[in-house]
């Protein structure tokens, strides 16, 4: 039964969901919801099973088992004080019921970006002041930039929800976390499951005129951010921008006004993360593993496993890796469009082991461009299959295709072999058949 509930077998399709309209009290949850809420990461299921493993809030007592349906209730369940909740190590089991909105004020009223803006900040004034034609290509400075920074601090206090150690956050059917970031910082042993993350928008993006040849707008808020933490399991979630995609944003200073950052970023020496059976759809930046090229404390860290995830209509960082040993197997990638950039980013001292992944590509995407060299030297890649356009699925050596089209070549040995895999690796042609029906939120019988 445990293996079925983990969502790793086709038999999970036969499980019947609990009745609609879940009650607002833990004692009224169905038996399956109670069992799944206390589920721990199975042994050997990726890097999050390393060391002590990942148990989350499975040991939570009755008084720390909550069903929440608002931002205020979520903060209360996590400890009561958002600023201090990151240090609350008491086991906590939190079920999310309905839509929890990060832009919900203390009295339940809906807030917008104007409510969070510092009195000294206005976007039109900011654009006029820092237009490169006027300001030049140097970083913004002065009162308007300072007001933007204060505005960011206001939004961080409102929409960044701090999670402490020994916590499970799991969604009942239809649960959504909208406009917020789950910040897992110095908070090991955390489980996040069965949630749809929607539109973690940044009201006050930063203009970075030296980022790239033409500058870029950069946003601060990920949907989940894992920092300085170990043993984190992110499973059966859906990540989307909803009806507010970056493609719909305006262009300022000749660059897209990007209001979203990553879906699931693992940075600042974090390690021991397993991301399984998730669905990433219609987003730009997905997953950054390692935030800096500086050789230092990240060396030997940033160990992440990605298996049985669906990357659907997304553009880059699938993932982009620095330093870490990252196991990428049995994932399905459905990619295309003029804005697509790359899938696997091979960064400084990265060690990606990519095995038996399946790529469904439109006719515009060349398999040679699925890899991108961000300063790395090698990866291990084997067992890849590709279906391009209307063509038949076929095995493709992605590394050979990349090396034939790009210089310098990437080496073929990442220098390690994964051992933390619970089940045998599926043949790549079976991956779309299994991952499509089972990946994402609302696939568990909650």
Rounded to whole angstroms, the Cα distance separating 63 from 75 reads: 15
DSSP string, 397-413: -HHHHHHHHSSSPPBS-
What are the Cα distances from residue 297, in Å, to 254, 270, 348, 401?
Answer: 37, 10, 14, 34
Residues 6 or more apart whose CB falls under 8 angstroms from that of 63 comprise none
What are the Cα distances from residue 190, in Å, to 57, 77, 285, 325, 355?
Answer: 7, 14, 23, 20, 27
Any catalytic annotation for residue 317? yes
Cα dihedral sign, 362-364-368-369: negative
- Contact yes or no for 239/264 (Cβ under 8 A): yes
Question: Which of 317, 320, 322, 334 does the annotation list as catalytic?
Answer: 317
Q: In what order do the strands lie in the sheet with 224-227?
A: 160-162, 181-185, 224-227, 264-267, 288-289, 320-321, 344-347, 371-374
Virtual torsion, Cα 150, 181, 314, 424, nearest 10 deg = 150
Q: Please identify every residue annotated as catalytic.
A: 317
């Amino acid at each position: 039964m445990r293996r079925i509930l983990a969502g790793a077998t086709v038999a999970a399709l036969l499980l019947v969901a609990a009745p609609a309209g879940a009650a607002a009290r833990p004692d009224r949850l169905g038996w399956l919801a109670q069992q799944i809420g206390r589920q721990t990461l199975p042994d050997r299921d990726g890097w999050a099973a390393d060391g002590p493993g990942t148990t989350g809030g499975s040991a939570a007592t009755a008084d720390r088992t909550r069903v929440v349906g608002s931002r205020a209730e979520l903060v209360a369940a996590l400890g009561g004080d958002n600023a201090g909740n990151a240090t609350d190590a008491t086991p906590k089991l939190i079920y999310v019921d309905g839509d929890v909105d990060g832009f919900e004020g203390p009295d339940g009223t809906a807030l917008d970006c104007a409510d969070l803006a510092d009195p000294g900040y206005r976007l039109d004034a900011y654009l006029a002041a820092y237009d490169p034609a006027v300001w030049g290509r140097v970083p913004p400075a002065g009162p308007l930039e300072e007001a933007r920074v204060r505005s960011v601090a206001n939004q961080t206090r409102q929409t960044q929800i701090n999670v402490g150690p020994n916590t499970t956050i799991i969604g009942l059917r239809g649960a959504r976390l909208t406009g917020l970031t789950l910040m897992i910082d110095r908070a090991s042993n955390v489980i996040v499951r069965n949630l749809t993350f929607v539109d973690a928008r940044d009201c006050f993006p930063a203009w970075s005129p030296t980022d790239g040849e033409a500058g870029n707008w950069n946003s601060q808020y990920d949907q989940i951010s894992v920092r300085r933490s170990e043993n984190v399991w992110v499973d059966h979630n859906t990540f989307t921008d909803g009806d507010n995609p970056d493609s719909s944003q305006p262009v300022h200073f000749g660059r897209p006004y990007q209001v979203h950052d990553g879906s699931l970023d693992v940075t600042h020496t974090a390690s021991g993360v397993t991301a399984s059976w998730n669905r990433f759809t219609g987003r730009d930046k997905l997953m950054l593993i390692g935030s800096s090229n500086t050789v230092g404390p990240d060396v030997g860290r940033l160990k992440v496993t990605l298996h049985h995830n669906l990357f659907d209509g997304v553009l880059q960082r699938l993932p982009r890796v620095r330093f870490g040993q990252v196991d990428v197997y049995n994932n399905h990638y459905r990619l295309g469009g003029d804005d697509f950039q790359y899938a696997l980013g091979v960064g400084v001292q990265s060690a990606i082991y990519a095995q038996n992944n399946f790529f469904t590509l439109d006719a515009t995407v060349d398999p040679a461009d699925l890899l991108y060299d961000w300063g790395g030297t090698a990866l291990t890649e084997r067992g890849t299959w590709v279906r391009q356009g209307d063509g038949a699925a076929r095995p493709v050596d992605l590394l050979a295709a990349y090396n034939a089209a790009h210089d310098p070549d990437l080496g073929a040995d990442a220098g390690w072999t994964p051992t933390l895999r619970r089940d045998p690796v599926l043949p790549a042609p079976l991956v779309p058949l299994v991952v499509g029906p089972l990946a994402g939120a609302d696939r568990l019988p909650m």
